Structure 1
Amino acid sequence: MKTPQTLFCERVLLPEGWTSDVMIGIDDGGMIVSIQPGRTRDADSMLAAGPVVPALQNLHSHAFQRAMAGLAEKSGSTDDSFWTWRETMYRLVERMSPDDVEVVATKLYSELLKGGFGHVVEFHYFHHAVTGSGRSDGFEMSARILRAAETAGIGLTHLPVFYAHAGFGGIAPNDGQKPFIHSVDGFLSLLERLAPECKAVGARLGLAIHSIRAATPDEMRVILSSEHTGGPIHIHVAEQEREVEDCLAWSGRRPVEYLLDEMPVDGRWCAIHATHMTPDETMRLARSGAVAGLCPATEANLGDGIFPATDFAAQAGAYGIGTDSHVATSVAEELRLLEYSQRLRDRRRNRLAAGPGTSSGRTVFDAVLKGGAQAAGQQTSGIHIGARADLVVLDGSNPFVGTSTGDQVLDRWLFALGSEAVRDVMAGGQWVVQDGRHRNEDEINRAFREVLLKLA
């Protein structure tokens, strides 16, 4: 598809705020090369069919889990939790081939684009899928993720995950975890092999450590002292109360406390979930410069708890959003749940708004745009010269959108409309979604349907 050279926006959210009559120039590589306010549309430019905002970064994805959305909603014989949900996930993994994973990831990424995301950070720990001759190696499975992102047209930060143990203190992995496991040497070799592959397709490469319970301190230190730590570093931490209890029993410290005490946490890091923190941990994580990676829909689905977002934001902590297990795939649903969870806990409204008279939607949108860019390893965020052209066009024909002014556009999208407000999405200068449909929608849906039938 031909890259548009200029896009005329009657209203666009730039870093300095809402701006009218802006001409955006985009080069053949999909980068923004000019932004000119106060212009009139010329005959050669494309017209954005509604207000334009930056596409957000999804900072936490396990793509294969989209195939199990809705399959863990049947009550078990005990109190259901993350730990019972995990057994359903293990059973799914044992039935998925590399081909299946690629199809599911492609479908997911097309849905994320339709939901208003332009970039995804794939926290990839499904390294060894079942094949006709045994199990795939980690390189093949990562290559499938790279190909899925390329087919869908979404920007990608790829994070292969080090996962070695079933619990704190180096407990041997159980059978359900075998598709995820690496040795330290094997993991570092995988990163070395992936570096040129990611560069060739324009994907960023970082790394992740699954969790403190899945890697020993010595293993973590070897990985973090390697030459492969120039990109983002992500880790699950303090997602469940049992994890906190087990960490206390093992180390005498809580997970976030232990991580900050023992590891070189800084702005490269993203602490995924970080749900269960004391006020001191909240303050220390905020001051570390790391991003808190929040996944409100998944955290609600699993019954994990509520992140202390108001306290974290008050400490100037950076945060972003992801969709994790992908029970939801839209910007609006994640941001709505983030704000609403704070309201339900506090029994007050507009908890994350920057101050009196400010918009809750604008506050959280700006915050997750900045935090998401940091967690994805991007230098800057938003619509500016030198940035990748990742843009969302909201539907100007929708009465709510068309009659809104300023930040009302965001508030109505995020709190009243959801994905129905997303009309067109550009990723890397290419229109990947137009009129609410992905450019390869029919083909992607056919392949996805076949995989679901196989897994049923």
Structure 2
Amino acid sequence: MTAVPAFANCHSHAFHRALRGRVTGADSFWSWRDQMYALAGVLDPDLLFELARATYCEMNLAGIRSVGEFHYVHHQPNGRPYDEPNAMGEALIAAAREADIRITLLDTCYLAAGFGKAPEGVQRRFTDGTADAWATRVESLASKYAGEDDVVIGSAIHSVRAVPRDQLATVAAAMSDAPLHVHVSEQPAENAECIAATGMTPVALLAEAGVWTPRTTAVHATHLTTDDVVMLGTAHSYVCFCPTTEAELADGIGPSVALRDAGARLTLGSDSNTVIDMFAEARAVEMHERLSTGIRGAWTADQLWLAATTTGHESLGFVVPDTIEIADTIRTAGAEELLWAATAADVEGDPTDIADLLESAIDACWDRV
């Protein structure tokens, strides 16, 4: 066996795991989202626990020891809070603990269906009504888990579409020492709507609210202007690329090299969990750059290992945990070069019962849909 640092998965929506292989015919991100919303509408704390536990077990088997769970399905289907207001978040924390994986629960503020649009349909499950109400709920959860070694409560802005301009600063100010993550510029339509509504790009609008700091992670950051790149780099923010999801959803290829050179710090995530393999995510950053530019070698193995491990754990509020072991059947010139050759299947571990857990949870989801 070859010992390497354990991975950090910095952007996950655990319940999306049930979508794997079921909505590949959707013609765009927006039609895919309709299918995802249908799934979000049937979840309850027990079902979310079962699905997340199976998904986190799969992550553990793939060598992931920390996960950033971008969590926004907070309330009952009618929008009313559960008797325990953080019941859904608690289900995710319990699932991670059973799977023996550390979790940063990125409790997400989601207040609108778009610029000037009230939440509708399943989105009523996502909203607390105001940023102040969201902050009250999530700060209560954070106080409960303060000092725990395996749980960090962080915050998230779902997107500039989902949090009105006048409430962004409230989210940015809440829990000012915890990780703060935000979806940004994943789709050209998001940029166009933001510019039409505010005259600013999403990155600039978030900068106005004080979002970009060294504790902040911009997730996706795919369609950026030159000024956007400079803002993220100057703030020394993290930027989380999720290449397998960005490819599966036809999002595009983000400017990873420009962001790195500007001063931003790369991390990686599995996002929709279409693939749970951090080797694949790391390699894809370089491979997508090769496809985009026609030049090899923009990212070294050492740089990508750092993104997938140390930098990733730090962005979630954790230090690097123990190492994982890679099977000797992967023959390379050295440990660094494993990144170009290995897959999650080469991580030493016991897959017993994971298939049964996944089958049971996913079947239960689709029986309800």
For normalisation by structure 1, the TM-score amounts to 0.75
Instruction: State the 1:262 CA deviation.
Output: 3.3
**Does structure 2 conserve the Cα–Cα contact (< 8 Å) formed by 1:102 and 1:147?**
yes
RMSD: 2.2
Normalized per residue, the structure richer in strand is 1
The aligned counterpart of 2:361 is: 448
Q: CA–CA distance in 1 between the matches of 2:245 and 2:157?
A: 20
- Extract unaligned runs of 5+ from structure 1: 1-49, 354-360, 382-387, 424-433
The aligned counterpart of 1:150 is: 97
- The verdict on how the C-alpha distance between 1:297 and 1:455 changes in structure 2, with shifts beyond 3 A counting, is farther
Q: CA–CA distance in 2 between the matches of 1:147 and 1:348?
A: 45
Q: Is the aligned partner of 1:371 residue 2:311?
A: yes
Paired letter, 1:198: Y
Paired letter, 1:207: S
The aligned counterpart of 2:158 is: 210
Q: Is the aligned partner of 1:335 residue 2:282?
A: yes
The aligned counterpart of 1:125 is: 72
Q: CA–CA distance in 2 between the matches of 1:67 and 1:158?
A: 20
**How big is each residue's C-alpha offset from its partner over 1:24-77, in whole Å with a ceiling of 9 and x where there is no partner?**
xxxxxxxxxxxxxxxxxxxxxxxxxx11111111111111111112221124xx
Instruction: State the 1:329 CA deviation.
Output: 0.7
Q: Which runs of structure 2 are paired with 1:164-313 in the superposition (5 Å)?
A: 164-168=111-115, 170-183=116-129, 184-199=131-146, 202-226=150-174, 228-313=175-260
- The verdict on how the C-alpha distance between 1:51 and 1:163 changes in structure 2, with shifts beyond 3 A counting, is same
Paired letter, 2:327: D
Larger radius of gyration: 1
The aligned counterpart of 1:33 is: none
User: Alignment partner for residue 17 of structure 2, among 66, 77, 80?
Assistant: 66
Q: Secondary structure at the match of 1:213?
A: coil
Q: CA–CA distance in 1 between the matches of 2:186 and 2:201?
A: 12
Q: CA–CA distance in 1 between the matches of 2:32 and 2:278?
A: 24
- The verdict on how the C-alpha distance between 1:100 and 1:261 changes in structure 2, with shifts beyond 3 A counting, is same
- The verdict on how the C-alpha distance between 1:191 and 1:135 changes in structure 2, with shifts beyond 3 A counting, is closer
- The verdict on how the C-alpha distance between 1:110 and 1:129 changes in structure 2, with shifts beyond 3 A counting, is farther
Q: Secondary structure at the match of 1:211?
A: coil
Instruction: State the 1:420 CA deviation.
Output: 2.2
**How big is each residue's C-alpha offset from its partner over 1:405-432, in whole Å with a ceiling of 9 and x where there is no partner?**
342333322xxxx122111xxxxxxxxx
The aligned counterpart of 1:27 is: none
- The verdict on how the C-alpha distance between 1:216 and 1:54 changes in structure 2, with shifts beyond 3 A counting, is same
Q: Secondary structure at the match of 1:149?
A: helix
Q: CA–CA distance in 2 between the matches of 1:277 and 1:449?
A: 36
Larger mean CA deviation between 404-413 and 229-238 belongs to 404-413
Q: Is the aligned partner of 1:437 residue 2:362?
A: no
Instruction: State the 1:442 CA deviation.
Output: 6.4
Q: Secondary structure at the match of 1:96?
A: coil
Q: Secondary structure at the match of 2:183?
A: strand
**How big is each residue's C-alpha offset from its partner over 1:187-238, in whole Å with a ceiling of 9 and x where there is no partner?**
1222132124334573011111111111112222223334x22200111111
Q: CA–CA distance in 1 between the matches of 2:292 and 2:136?
A: 45
The aligned counterpart of 1:412 is: 341
Paired letter, 2:303: T
Larger mean CA deviation between 86-95 and 252-261 belongs to 252-261
Q: Is the aligned partner of 1:362 residue 2:310?
A: no
- Extract unaligned runs of 5+ from structure 2: none
Instruction: State the 1:95 CA deviation.
Output: 2.0
Q: Secondary structure at the match of 1:292?
A: strand
The aligned counterpart of 1:113 is: 60
Percent identity, aligned pairs only, is 30
Q: CA–CA distance in 2 between the matches of 1:408 and 1:68?
A: 32
Q: Secondary structure at the match of 1:212?
A: coil
Instruction: State the 1:160 CA deviation.
Output: 0.8
- The verdict on how the C-alpha distance between 1:315 and 1:174 changes in structure 2, with shifts beyond 3 A counting, is same
Paired letter, 2:156: A
Instruction: State the 1:109 CA deviation.
Output: 0.5
